[in-house]
Amino acid sequence: MGKHVLLVEDELNIIEAIRFLLSREGWQVDTHSNGTDAAQIIRERKPDLVVLDVMLPGKSGFDILEELRGHEETEDLPVLMLTARGQSRDREMAEKAGVSRFMTKPFSNTEVLTAVRDLLYVHGQRT
């Protein structure tokens, strides 16, 4: 049974790469590229996992993550955050906001698959 992943990312090459990778694993991948309404879209689509970029038009990934953690239906949703900047400050902000896993771009296909598998299966066993 395929899991549903929502990718919130605005860089086309990354969208295509992650969509290809995860679809090949049998997961359904939806994408959204605007930060402004991302939290609302996530609540409406109810994915099993969100892959969330930090740098988005309209609203940052940190703000979206805080919004998700502030709602009962998304407070436990696994979120894999992607950032082009690997500074420790970004990691600290992500952890403070309640991120499940943090990954710095560029990343390898293996890193993405491992993180998504870990988050989906650890979360899946809890529910």
Domains, the chain, ranges and CATH? 4-126 (3.40.50.2300)
How many angstroms separate the Cα of 60 from the Cα of each of 77, 122, 127? 18, 26, 29
pTM given for the model? 0.93
Extended strands (E) in the chain: 4-8, 28-32, 49-53, 79-83, 101-104
Note the pLDDT tens digit of each residue in 1-35: 569 999 999 999 999 999 999 999 999 999 999 99
How many angstroms separate the Cα of 114 from the Cα of each of 18, 40, 57, 72, 117? 12, 27, 28, 27, 5
Note the pLDDT tens digit of each residue in 37-90: 999 999 999 999 999 999 999 999 999 999 999 999 999 999 999 988 767 888
**Strand partners of residue 32:** 8
